[in-house]
Amino acid sequence: MQPIIGIDFGTTNSVVTALGADGTVRVLRRATEEVFRSILCFWRDGAGHLRHAAGASGITAYLEDPLEARLILSMKSYLAQKSFQETRILGRPYGLEALVGLFLRELLSPFATELAGARVIVGRPVRFVGETADDALGQRRLIAGFAAAGLADVQVELEPAAAGHRFAASLTEPATVLVADFGGGTSDFSLLRFEPGPPVRVIPLGHAGVGVAGDAFDFRIIDHVVSPLLGKGGSYTVMGTELPIPPGWYGSFARWHLLSLMRAPRTLRDIADVARNAAEPARLHHLIRLIEDEVGYEMYRAISGVKAALSRAAQARLQFRHADFVLDAEVTRTDFEAWIAPELKQISAAVDAALADAALASGQVDRVFLTGGTSLVPAVRGLFEQRFGQARVVAGGEFVSVAEGLALMGRG
């Protein structure tokens, strides 16, 4: 049997799986890791040569010298954005497809034996990230990124449908299933009809998606807790006129994949100019320092930790320190759920769209399968339990179900 490989290239994490001759799927591990962080780091070595690393190695390289390294996060979030053509990294231009290809080569480098002659199935969201996202462009760039990594012939499947195939393995009777796949950048929904077989039959009924998920929830925490301490909502004075500090800076600061772009000299000069006439200049000086010192990853860890803690407890403490900037704040689940209400509304609307696409009512859905890290957020799970009933909602395989399902889809 031709080897079959499933690859889930995610906004935050990536996973590779292989389908065995006996029909079982295994995650291809790097050492003991099932998931591989979707991160690239660039730096210059002692001889001045440009080097790069990905995943945990990239994080280590960055933490060794954050001032001189360039950390690239959330590459997948750019795929459908026409405005992003290339970026300069330590003086060298890189197109998006080239960056994705570099990352994928690092991800797949230990699995050359498994990939030899394999049929490769890769996932894509129903809707890519961005208000002006071009989904066709996103898929073309995704395929081009795999080609740049040496995989010129890949089969593309929708990520929630892949998660549904994984879930189908647990079914013993026919069922109509809503699969909700929550990634770092997108929330995707598929309605599928499963016939256990043999052979197992999976009939797609309808799909929908929205470009918000875990990263958007992180944004809300930063926007409400961190950014006000860095000048958001403040004012500065020009020729006797009081003006608001530009809010656009904080929109970029609170989004991981945009933060590194703020390190541009012009942006830093603009912030410094405003700080000279600001009511609270120290806050803007903190903002400049955090941008210059490339602390995005450390802050990312702190925010993600609080978000995870709020899935288990009614409150959590957000603590972060860099130079003379000190953050120590209590975040409650009640506040967090109020902050993410706009995203929850968008998710709910996408579920409506999936049901409409399938011409089904909520009562015609037998099971709901939630997967992805954001499915652990109580307010997200509660949205589905309220609509479909607690007994019909299950979750699992939060980080590997899509990759496992992609491999299963390869067998036809």
What does the alpha-carbon distance between residue 171 and residue 92 come to, in Å, rounded to a whole number?
Answer: 51
Is 275 contained in some domain? no
Residue 195 pLDDT exceeds 90: no
Residue 25: what pLDDT? 94
pTM of the entire predicted model: 0.85
The letter for the amino acid at 154 is V
Question: Which neighbouring-strand residues pair with 367?
Answer: 177
Answer for the pair 154, 143: CB distance below 8 angstroms, yes or no: yes
The letter for the amino acid at 276 is R
Question: Which neighbouring-strand residues pair with 87?
Answer: 94
DSSP state of 59: H
| Mean pLDDT, rounded, for 101-130 | 94
Is 142 contained in some domain? yes
**How confident is the model over 238-257, as pLDDT tens digits?**
999 999 999 999 988 887 66
Is 356 contained in some domain? no
- Residue 39, domain extent: 4-171+399-409
Is 153 contained in some domain? yes
| Mean pLDDT, rounded, for 116-140 | 92
What does the alpha-carbon distance between residue 378 and residue 17 come to, in Å, rounded to a whole number?
Answer: 29
Contacts for 181 with CB less than 8 Å, ≥ 6 apart:
159, 160, 163, 187, 188, 189, 190, 371, 372, 401, 402
Is 122 contained in some domain? yes
Is 52 contained in some domain? yes
**How confident is the model over 285-326, as pLDDT tens digits?**
999 999 988 787 788 889 999 999 999 999 999 999 999 999
Residue 257: what pLDDT? 64
Strands 119-124 and 4-9, by their bridges, are parallel
What does the alpha-carbon distance between residue 158 and residue 189 come to, in Å, rounded to a whole number?
Answer: 9
Please give the tally of structural domains in the chain.
Answer: 1
Read off the CATH number of the domain in which 59 is found: 3.30.420.40
Least confident segment among 33-37, 138-142, 205-209: 33-37
Is 106 contained in some domain? yes
Is 340 contained in some domain? no
Answer for the pair 257, 297: CB distance below 8 angstroms, yes or no: no
